[in-house]
């Protein structure tokens, strides 16, 4: 039973309690606990094994929830959850996912109309039975019918890499409007989350009409969902490309908020979120007898801070907190201790240590890759083509690999301003052996060990395979660790705690693969690796020279993990980097 599953049980219980009309703060307690658990770097199982009393030291976990965690760990389930699941049909919980419909309305539909499935809900709406209920009307019926259509899409998120250029472009367009003063992207895009659900935009203007009209009439806008004095929500036409692995197009929605100039900082702080972060900032305001909202920080009617984020945080006795860290994980503790990290920048990266050439599945030659890396200012690179098991990519056996390295050695003679290492992306086979013999690996400057096949093997076997690689003295780094893709296709089931401990013990580095759909090391795990002192390497896995440009997405992920220049190995000079190798 891992942390994610326990967190999920608490989330499910929160949904069900909400439907039961439980105290809203009790529901929130479960959701808070779930979030705390998700953000934990240590597993609950090992905490309990160590000392169960430590559970109650976790944020938002008291006596009751600590007992529930222990019960889940020992019995594999949560009794209250099983009881409520038996009582309330799963489709009733699914109804909560319909936008505009919440727990109160779902409970009414369930209790008064005995609607127990999505099918019954559809029929009831079509027959006009829902609008007869008190508190419901024709419009609600319409919302339900439309919502049912979109239920498949609900909760679908888009890659940051797809969303960000789009939102940035809209921001630029809004900036050109006469009446608009400042514009900033906000929400999860500003926080650089790896995937985003909807888009948030903030503008300042004395009169919001022009900005709102512009967005409402934008060629990519499908329809306006809501429009008020200061806030407008629109749905865009389905964009391509989109994030779903099966190629579904998704419609994005954007909130545009327009506030007066003098409120820009407070509004940006509010609109950037996260919601959990804001709950804390507002509580901190309250403790100081102040009130924080999107218009400013007020003492009674007196504005204390509003124009910039910096002054809002300062008035709360906090340093400015980078948006990437605003998740109410550890940023407030860090801020109080003056330990907000100086986050990694793209320009800090000096080398890229994972790339392919025409020798296997790359589209550029060795020379072209070296030239491309030089153009981007890299001081060192490793050419790491595939090993033979990856037949699809024309993987290299020992003989071809040695010839390939010989060629690299010849070519690198011509470059004095960039170091080029002879590397290999060596597969860890299903039987927990490596795809190339030790004597070949020993000749390499740089060895990446990766899983490509047998990702569905049980956790024990996957973990054993990774341990084999870590224990091989020639392996320097574990490459895209889990094969994880964002979206529907799950990665391998890995015992991260064991792997990280072994990597720390053996001096093996971990890769943060910068490909936007394959950010293998998520921010929580990257933070954990940092805590354990394991060097992280951010690579692009470039298959062409254009592939080098993916580096920023890995850096964004690293920033969310709170990583600094010091935590990332390939910010070092070539000489320092080589020294770090075991």
Partner DNA sequence: GCCGTTTTCGGCCCGACTGTTTTCAGTCG
Instruction: List residues binding DNA (CB under 7 A).
Output: 23, 25-26, 28-30, 33, 56, 59-66, 98-106, 131, 134-141, 143, 187, 198, 200, 226-232, 255, 273, 275, 278-279, 282-283, 285-287, 291-294
CA distance 290 to 444: 62
Closest to DNA by CB, 62 vs 473, is: 62
Closest to DNA by CB, 106 vs 514, is: 106
Place of tokens 């109410």: 328
Q: How far is the CB of 29 from DNA (least distance, A)?
A: 3
Q: How far is the CB of 314 from DNA (least distance, A)?
A: 19
CA distance 254 to 222: 11
Q: How far is the CB of 274 from DNA (least distance, A)?
A: 9
Q: How far is the CB of 306 from DNA (least distance, A)?
A: 13
| Residue 21 CB partners (closer than 8 Å, separation 6+) | 103, 107
Q: How far is the CB of 153 from DNA (least distance, A)?
A: 13
Q: How far is the CB of 263 from DNA (least distance, A)?
A: 10
The pair of structure tokens assigned to 484 is 């994880």
Closest to DNA by CB, 59 vs 501, is: 59
Q: How far is the CB of 86 from DNA (least distance, A)?
A: 18
Closest to DNA by CB, 4 vs 226, is: 226
206 within 8 A of 260, measured Cβ to Cβ: yes
Closest to DNA by CB, 66 vs 115, is: 66
Q: How far is the CB of 105 from DNA (least distance, A)?
A: 3
Half-sphere exposure of 142 (CA within 13 A, CB side): 3
Closest to DNA by CB, 289 vs 439, is: 289
Q: How far apart are the first and last CA of the chain?
A: 34
Place of tokens 């940051």: 160
Strand (E) positions, 464-553? 477-478, 509-513, 536-539
Sign of CA dihedral 280, 282, 283, 289: positive
183 class by beta-carbon count within 10 Å (0-12 exposed, 13-18 middle, 19+ buried): buried
388 within 8 A of 360, measured Cβ to Cβ: no
The CB density around residue 162, as the number of other CB atoms within 10 Å, is 19
Closest to DNA by CB, 70 vs 310, is: 70
User: Alpha helix locations (H) across 507-560?
Assistant: 523-531, 551-560
| Residue 196 CB partners (closer than 8 Å, separation 6+) | 157, 158, 160, 163, 187, 188, 189
Q: How far is the CB of 467 from DNA (least distance, A)?
A: 36
500 within 8 A of 534, measured Cβ to Cβ: yes
Closest to DNA by CB, 208 vs 483, is: 208
């Amino acid at each position: 039973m891992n942390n994610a599953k326990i967190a999920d049980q608490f989330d499910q219980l929160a949904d069900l309690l909400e439907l039961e009309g439980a105290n809203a703060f009790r529901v929130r307690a479960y959701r808070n606990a779930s979030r705390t658990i998700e953000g934990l770097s240590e597993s609950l199982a090992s905490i309990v094994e160590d000392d169960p009393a430590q559970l109650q030291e976790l944020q938002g976990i008291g006596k009751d929830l600590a007992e529930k965690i222990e019960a889940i760990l020992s019995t594999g389930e949560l009794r209250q959850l099983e009881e409520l699941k038996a009582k309330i049909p799963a489709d009733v919980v699914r109804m909560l996912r319909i936008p505009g419909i919440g727990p109160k309305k779902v409970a009414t539909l369930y209790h008064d109309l005995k609607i127990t499935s999505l099918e019954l809900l559809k029929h009831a709406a079509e027959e006009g039975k829902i609008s007869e209920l008190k508190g419901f009307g024709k419009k609600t019926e319409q919302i339900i019918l439309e919502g049912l259509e979109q239920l498949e899409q609900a909760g679908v998120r888009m890659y940051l890499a797809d969303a960000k250029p789009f939102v940035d472009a809209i921001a630029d367009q809004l900036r050109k409007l006469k009446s608009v003063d400042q514009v900033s992207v906000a929400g999860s895009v500003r926080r650089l989350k790896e995937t985003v659900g909807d888009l948030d935009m903030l503008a300042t203007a004395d009169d919001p009409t022009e900005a709102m009209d512009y967005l409402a009439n934008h060629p990519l806008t499908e329809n306006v969902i809501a429009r008020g004095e200061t806030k407008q929500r629109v749905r865009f036409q389905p964009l391509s490309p989109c994030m779903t692995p099966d190629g579904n197009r998704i419609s994005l929605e954007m909130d545009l908020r327009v506030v007066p100039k003098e409120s820009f900082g407070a509004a940006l702080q509010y609109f950037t979120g996260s919601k959990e972060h804001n709950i804390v900032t507002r509580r901190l305001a309250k403790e100081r007898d102040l009130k924080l909202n999107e218009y400013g920080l007020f003492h009674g009617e007196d504005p204390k801070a509003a124009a910039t984020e910096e002054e809002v945080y300062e008035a709360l006795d906090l340093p400015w907190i980078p948006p990437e860290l605003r998740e109410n994980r550890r940023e407030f503790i860090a801020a109080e201790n003056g330990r907000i990290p100086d986050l990694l920048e793209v320009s800090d990266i000096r080398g890229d240590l994972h790339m392919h050439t025409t020798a296997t599945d790359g589209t550029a030659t060795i020379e072209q890759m070296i030239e491309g890396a030089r153009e981007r200012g890299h001081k060192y690179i490793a050419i790491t083509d595939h090993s033979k098991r990856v037949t699809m990519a024309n993987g290299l056996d020992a003989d071809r690999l040695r010839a390939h390295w010989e060629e690299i050695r010849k070519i690198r003679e011509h470059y004095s301003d960039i170091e080029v290492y002879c590397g290999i992306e060596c597969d860890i086979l299903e039987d927990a052996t490596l795809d190339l013999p030790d004597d070949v690996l020993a000749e390499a400057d740089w060895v990446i060990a990766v899983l490509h096949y047998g990702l569905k093997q049980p956790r024990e076997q996957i973990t054993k395979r990774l341990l084999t690689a870590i224990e091989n003295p020639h392996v320097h780094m574990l490459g895209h660790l889990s094969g994880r893709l964002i979206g529907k296709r799950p990665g391998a089931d890995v015992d991260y705690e064991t792997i990280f401990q072994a990597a720390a013990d053996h001096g093996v580095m971990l890769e943060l693969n910068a490909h936007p759909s394959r950010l293998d090391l998520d921010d929580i795990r990257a933070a954990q690796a940092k805590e354990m002192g394991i060097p992280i390497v951010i690579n692009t896995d470039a298959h062409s020279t254009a592939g080098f440009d993916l580096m920023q997405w890995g850096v964004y992920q690293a920033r969310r993990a709170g990583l600094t220049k010091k935590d990332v190995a390939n910010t070092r000079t070539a000489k320092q980097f080589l020294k770090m190798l075991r």
